[in-house]
């Protein structure tokens, strides 16, 4: 089983700024989202506790901060794996989406925009990292992992896990107030209680 958590809202998420691998702190709402997702992940781990579970996280600060909440809720130590890092958005990192849209009016017409940044990673690059990580995990049912990562990476991991085609992979949601359970070939979404 994999319990997949995306980091909480960041200041750059709120501003509409492209993050990629650049750092941006969690907002107060993002902190509350992280705490709520951590509690939900702990519930999904179950009554038997975290024995046999691992908590693996992207090296990027917003994911590490979110994983800190999960570690507190579960008692698990955080392991860092660079393969869980968000897509590199190259020259677009730190720039406002509106600014890029002004220069490239068609850039955001589809969810393919993530892969159009000069010097950034491709769909194939990120899928290869996600698939490589997935391939190193123990088989189900021994697999017990909580993974804390990012929107694009998590979307592509779920696509690789379920064998989705490119469009179906990109059409998936990337919430910051829900977690996903990947188990026995299925992907289930669990929403947190609404936060204000």
Residue 43 φ/ψ, nearest 5 degrees? -65, -40
Asked whether the bond before 83 is cis by omega within 30 degrees of 0, the reply is: no
65, HSE (Cβ side, Cα atoms, 13 Å): 18
Residue 182 φ/ψ, nearest 5 degrees? -105, 110
Say whether pLDDT at 184 is over 90.
yes
Placement of tokens 């010097």 in the chain = 119
pLDDT for 148: 98
Query: Would you give the DSSP letter of residue 138?
Result: P
**What tokens were used for 135?**
């391939």
pLDDT digits (tens, 9 = 90+) for 57-115: 999 999 999 999 999 999 999 999 999 999 999 999 999 988 888 887 777 777 888 88
β-strand pairing of 186-191 with 2-6: unpaired
- As annotated, the active-site residues are 7, 86
Model confidence, pTM: 0.94
Query: Would you give the DSSP letter of residue 6?
Result: E
Rounded Cα gap, residues 84 and 148, in angstroms = 8
The CA distances from residue 151 to 9, 20, 46, 147, in Å, are: 11, 10, 25, 12
pLDDT digits (tens, 9 = 90+) for 30-60: 999 999 999 999 999 986 677 889 999 999 9
């Amino acid at each position: 089983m994999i319990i997949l958590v995306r980091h909480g809202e960041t200041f750059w998420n709120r501003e509409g700024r492209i993050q990629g691998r650049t750092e941006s702190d969690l907002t107060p709402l993002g902190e509350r989202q992280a705490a709520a997702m951590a509690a939900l992940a702990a519930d999904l781990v179950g009554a038997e506790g975290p024995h046999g579970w691992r908590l693996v996280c992207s090296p990027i600060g917003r994911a590490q901060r979110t994983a800190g909440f999960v570690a507190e809720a579960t008692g698990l130590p955080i392991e860092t794996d660079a393969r869980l890092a968000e897509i590199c958005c190259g020259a677009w990192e730190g720039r406002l989406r509106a600014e890029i849209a002004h220069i490239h009016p068609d850039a955001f017409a589809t969810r393919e925009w993530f892969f159009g940044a000069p010097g950034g990673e491709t769909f194939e690059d990120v899928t290869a990292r996600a698939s490589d990580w997935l391939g190193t995990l123990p088989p189900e049912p021994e697999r017990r992992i909580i993974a804390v990562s990012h929107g694009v990476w998590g979307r592509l991991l779920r696509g690789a896990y379920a064998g989705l085609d490119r469009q179906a992979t990109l059409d998936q949601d990337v919430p910051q107030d829900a977690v996903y359970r990947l188990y026995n070939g299925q992907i289930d979404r669990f929403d947190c209680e609404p936060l204000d």
